A and B are shown apart, each in its own frame.
Chain A
């Protein structure tokens, strides 16, 4: 099997060489490159930092931010904070899942959309909210959230044409 290019991992590792307690920061910056942590990258981090791969795997699976599978171009995070929950966040999740034909945690086969649920985005006064990439959409209803998704789908179709 072909070895992926891991120069981006080395770059991060060099930046933090000799600093104590930087494992999580290193992993965050490695993940920033591809949106997820590939197995080879974790092994490279393990060797370079002198930490067993198992321990790194333990850290990666402990924190919600890290992912071990590729993520779609648009990451849709549906907020399930308390304020959103009492304003029908479950309904938004159902609407988003229905519109994209997937379940939370999954990615569309064309790798365009990944849907996740998050604990709280801290925009409670605009509840219920979702975040697409870095953009927050607030005061949504099941109707409005479908329109947001459709806009992104339309935008992607135009890109293809």
Chain B
């Protein structure tokens, strides 16, 4: 009997896992030698669709198994053979892809890609809900909090506030009616850890949150999940129903008299709702605008009642901490940042996916050992951490260990865990402009400095990338950064200047090249580049002329083509279309 596990998260489905799964069913339904299971994503998104073959307790992981390969794959398995070239992780020997896994330590994500997220029995078989049972039957509320405090777990949403202390505040807050929130409004562009966790192991998050509810004394909990994550919402709702049916959620949990009901709310699309007071306003059905703190949600949250709010990954760590004890968690990490952290690798990196690593690992180890380096064997120029609130860390600082304080010292933040890698073809002024355009869109408009200040900053950056920047622009940007940090109420505004401040600090020469020489060193900014045909390489295939939407590329068949610079809109379609690399950007 062989078990086939198909990685079936949104990333896998987008890469073709649905077609692979359908093909497997078409070939194997009714065949008692095979069992097909759906799981989440094991983190190796770059090789999806992924199928694990489990036989005699050994796991063979196949990558890039698109539907056209399924027939050959099954044929071979039926003969009792494996196709070694397609195996990315082998139980008996090392593979090239093994380095992606070797440095990882999976605590929060150990079940993702292993269990079927739509089947509670699978979760229970993987030690699921044991922590909840332990807490409800053998520990009092303070003991739970003490254990979480001992673990040193800090909030994984970005701010890094001590989870145990947060729970303590909510527990100590007077009042009988209390609430729990799970913030799954993962808004940072370039981050997808929470999506993958909710899709791959929803019960783990439910268990962690329910333990928290017991500790602080809450009766009702809300999952606030982005509407852009339909699969996460679907699996979470299913998981809650299953947990209720088995007595792990709802009324009189495990017969102990503890009640905790869970509700899923779909966010309607506002980045600022990641901020806790804005999120609470949104749950109450209002515009998601932050308010001044204090009072903090721990005493005045939903409907003015004490409320504890953590993000998905924070809760996902709790079952492990309770099962194994706080010390088991805190043995990983650095002095100030304990345990592991989940990151999403994306951008110009060879192996994009989701990883969980011990705190204290260096960025270099992540780029080179786990990520396999930069695509096309390029040079890593910077990594962007922390989304629009974070910053760009240049390559020469990539021996920095990942730790809340040490990353903060570079000007970036650990943030929720998005890491976007950049190579020489990425313009750092354009990246700053990109993030500012995001902030301008997402500013709720309450504070003048954030509302108007970010807009003025964006205008300056647009001017610089258009080749119309002046010497005064850099000091003006710096002044605006300072004012916005001081004059904004919430994290969105206070951190909005970070992408500009870090690029100014580490890539000032790129700003100056745009302003003084009217040149974009990365050859990205449209106003500062031209497209040209290399005569030696052009075969006169006419493809560029046929692709050009404005008629700027032209030429006779079998003759060298030209690009009319006055007509050219720098869309780059001709370069993408050219099969001979005959079009260059200057």
Q: What sequence of 0s and 1s flags, for each residue 175-201 of chain B, a beta carbon within 8 Å of any chain A beta carbon?
A: 000000000001111111001000000
* Count of chain A residues with a beta carbon within 8 Å of a chain B beta carbon: 47
**CB pair B269 A59 closer than 8 Å:** no
A window 125-161: CB within 8 A of B: 125-127, 129, 134-138, 141-143
Closest to B550 in A: A98
> What is the predominant secondary structure among interface residues of chain B facing chain A?
mixed
Which of B228, B420, B441, B576 makes the CB contact (< 8 A) with A83? B420
A124 vs B194: C-alpha distance in the bound complex, in angstroms?
13
A87 vs B425: C-alpha distance in the bound complex, in angstroms?
10
In the complex, B80 has a CB within 8 A of chain A: no
A window 7-59: CB within 8 A of B: 20-25, 27-28, 58-59
In the complex, A82 has a CB within 8 A of chain B: yes
**CB pair A123 B420 closer than 8 Å:** no
Known A124-B344, A142-B573; contact A119-B192, beta-carbon cutoff 8 A? no
Q: What sequence of 0s and 1s flags, for each residue 261-273 of chain B, a beta carbon within 8 Å of any chain A beta carbon?
A: 0000110111100
Known A91-B573, A142-B573; contact A58-B192, beta-carbon cutoff 8 A? no
In the complex, A88 has a CB within 8 A of chain B: yes
**CB pair B426 A125 closer than 8 Å:** no
In the complex, B283 has a CB within 8 A of chain A: yes
Number of A-B contacts (CB under 8 A): 154
In the complex, A103 has a CB within 8 A of chain B: no
A20 vs B387: C-alpha distance in the bound complex, in angstroms?
33
Q: What sequence of 0s and 1s flags, for each residue 429-466 of chain B, a beta carbon within 8 Å of any chain A beta carbon?
A: 00100110010011010000000000000000000000
Residues of the B chain whose Cβ atoms lie less than 8 Å from the Cβ of A135:
14
**CB pair B285 A86 closer than 8 Å:** no
A92 vs B86: C-alpha distance in the bound complex, in angstroms?
32
**CB pair B227 A65 closer than 8 Å:** yes
In the complex, B284 has a CB within 8 A of chain A: yes
**CB pair A28 B11 closer than 8 Å:** no
Q: What sequence of 0s and 1s flags, for each residue 57-90 of chain A, a beta carbon within 8 Å of any chain B beta carbon?
A: 0110011111000000000000011111111100
**CB pair A95 B268 closer than 8 Å:** no
Residues of the B chain whose Cβ atoms lie less than 8 Å from the Cβ of A28:
227, 266, 268
**CB pair B384 A82 closer than 8 Å:** yes
**CB pair A119 B271 closer than 8 Å:** yes
**Shortest beta-carbon distance, A56 to chain B, in Å?**
10
**Shortest beta-carbon distance, A13 to chain B, in Å?**
14
Which of B286, B352, B418, B422 makes the CB contact (< 8 A) with A59? B286
A80 vs B384: C-alpha distance in the bound complex, in angstroms?
15
B window 9-44: CB within 8 A of A: 10-11, 13-15
In the complex, A102 has a CB within 8 A of chain B: no
**CB pair B571 A122 closer than 8 Å:** no
In the complex, A100 has a CB within 8 A of chain B: no
Closest to B571 in A: A94
In the complex, B561 has a CB within 8 A of chain A: no
Known A91-B573, A124-B352, A136-B14; contact A86-B347, beta-carbon cutoff 8 A? yes
In the complex, B6 has a CB within 8 A of chain A: no
A63 vs B267: C-alpha distance in the bound complex, in angstroms?
9
Nearest 3 CB-CB pairs, A to B? A64-B269, A125-B352, A125-B45
Q: A63-B270, A86-B426 are in contact. List 16 more A-B contacts (CB 8 A).
A: A62-B288, A64-B270, A65-B269, A84-B189, A85-B189, A87-B348, A98-B549, A120-B187, A122-B186, A122-B229, A125-B11, A127-B352, A136-B13, A137-B14, A141-B576, A143-B576
A-B contact pairs, 9 of them (CB 8 A): A21-B303, A59-B285, A65-B227, A82-B384, A85-B431, A98-B549, A134-B230, A138-B14, A142-B577
